[in-house]
Structure formats: C-alpha cells, structure tokens
Amino acid sequence: MRVLELLESFEDEVLDPEEETFALFSAPIPSANLGFIDPRAAELDITLPPNRDFTIHQSPTLLASSRAGGTTGAVLWKITPLFAAFLSSPDCPFLPPAPTGAASSSSDTAVLELGCGISALTGLACGPRVGRYVLTDQPYVARLVQRNLDANERARAPAPARRGAKGRASASSLQPAPAPTGHDVFFEPLDWELDEVTPALTRSDEVRSFDLVVACDCIYNDALVEPLVQTSVDACLLRRRDEGATSGEPCALYCCAAAAVARGVSRRG
C-alpha cells in the first residue's frame, strides 16, 4: 500500500510523548501473568469476528520444560487472537479484500510471519485473503503448528440464511458453510540466529519474495532483538532482489506489541 494511505489509517498523532507514556504506564495492568490465555489447557476454542471458530492445540508440558532456546511459543498468548482479528479484518490496510464469491480470483499476496508459535491462528485467519502465508519459528513448534493447520482445515463460518416459502430460514441454511480454502498456509523452520532468509521460504519457483512481513509479540529476550531486526530486514530485501515480482510495491513490515487494544475477540466456553 502507499505511504499516505498507511498514514491515514493511523490514529491521532502523539503530540506529547511524555504525557502519552505517563498515561500508558498509569493504566492498571489487566493480568498478573505473562499474557497466556490458559497455560494449563491442552486445547483452546477461539472465536474471531465475525463468528469464525478455531480449535487451537497447545502444550503446557513443553511450556514448563527446560528446553534450551526457550518455550514461550508452546502456548497461545492473548495478543495473538487480537492480532489475527485485526490482520484479517476487512478494514486492515495491509491485505487485499477477501474474495466475495466463487468467481472471485484469489490474491497473490505473499505473507511471512516471524515467531508464529504453535497456534497458526493468524495464518488460518488470513489464509482466504492471501495467496501464500508462511508461518516461521524454531523447529520445536512445527508439530503443533501442523496439527492446528490440519484441525482447522475445515474451519467454518456462518452462512447467510436462505428464506423458505413461508419466509422462514430453511433447515439447510442453518448449517455453517465452509470457509474459503485453496490458499497456501504452511510452516517453515526459521531460527533468527542460525538460519539464512532465502527465497526458498516461499516453496515456490514463481514467488521469490514477500509483500508483507509480520511479527506479533514474539520476543522476550533482549539478546534476540538484533537477530529479529536483521531477519526482518533480510526478509524485506528479498523483494528488492526479486526481478519477477508482479507488484511494484516494496515489502511492508508490521510488528505488533502486546499493548494492542482488542475488540470483539473471545475465547469460547
């Protein structure tokens, strides 16, 4: 998207940074934990607007383990459904509109997510709006990511009610309709400290770069700040080297921190 369009989507400009900082840090902390939804549950039911239900499998055992390299990606964090809801919303400026019918052509937008954790939730939510969504993280989350992709392959959304002869909704219209499918959402291991960012992440000979690189609240170790920044830069630079890119737009980078404010996202049950 163009820079001016992006700037217009922002809220009011912060005029006094000190006052803004004071207001943020004066607000009560909503929870005493690190931000997990439920670190003891092996399975979570998550609802994203408008009424899209997902079942997310996670690993409390892995979270509590002493695995070298960290375990924070083993469970779902509160910020992830909020981020997924924003990125997949019709008003999100970073992605093209969702297809509206069977005849609609799918987008060829390619998205790379850094530090996705086990849930695959953002990829599942955004899949119908993009041509390719690549989830990346350390290899230890791969099994649960794939399990969540498989478990939600038939994620369903409410179908519009069809009226019968007497004006009442027919029984068949009350059944949920399948969400759009046929878009590539998959996992690739990517360690910011050990791995190199290459076009091979796309798993495609035609698509050699990304339109959007996203990361959501995925860093808690100061030592990883520099590797994350460098990985983000390297991922965005793939577009500059991609002579076959059909889009004239440069790669965009969007990072979301836990301070994001959410509306309309809930845990079922």
Q: What is the CATH number of the domain that holds 252?
A: 3.40.50.150
Flag whether 151 is in a domain.
yes
Q: Is residue 265 within 8 Å of residue 78, measured between CB atoms?
A: no
What was the pLDDT predicted at 68?
Answer: 85
Q: Looking at residue 220, what is its pLDDT?
A: 75
213 within some domain: yes
CA distance 56 to 120: 8
Q: What is the pLDDT of residue 130?
A: 92
Q: Give the whole-angstrom CA distance, residue 112 versus residue 136.
A: 7
In a domain, 171, yes or no: no
Structural domain range at position 132? 34-95+107-156+180-257
Nearest to 232 by CA among 206, 247, 249, 212: 212
What confidence score (pLDDT) does residue 236 get? 94
The token pair at 95 is 């992605």
Asked whether residue 24 is domain-assigned, the answer is no
d(CA 182, CA 262): 29
Q: Is position 40 within any domain?
A: yes
What is the Cα–Cα distance from 233 to 197, expressed in whole angstroms?
10
Residue 197 lies inside a defined structural domain of this protein: yes
Q: Against a cut of 0.95, is the pTM above it? A: no
Q: How confident is the model at residue 31, as a pLDDT?
A: 56
Q: With respect to residue 198, please indicate whether it lies within any of the assigned structural domains.
A: yes
With respect to residue 210, please indicate whether it lies within any of the assigned structural domains.
Answer: yes
Which residues of the chain are under the pLDDT cut of 50? 103-104, 156-182, 258-267, 269
For position 253, what pLDDT does the model report?
83
Q: How many domains does the chain have?
A: 1
Half-sphere exposure of 182 (CA within 13 A, CB side): 9
Determine the pLDDT at residue 188.
97
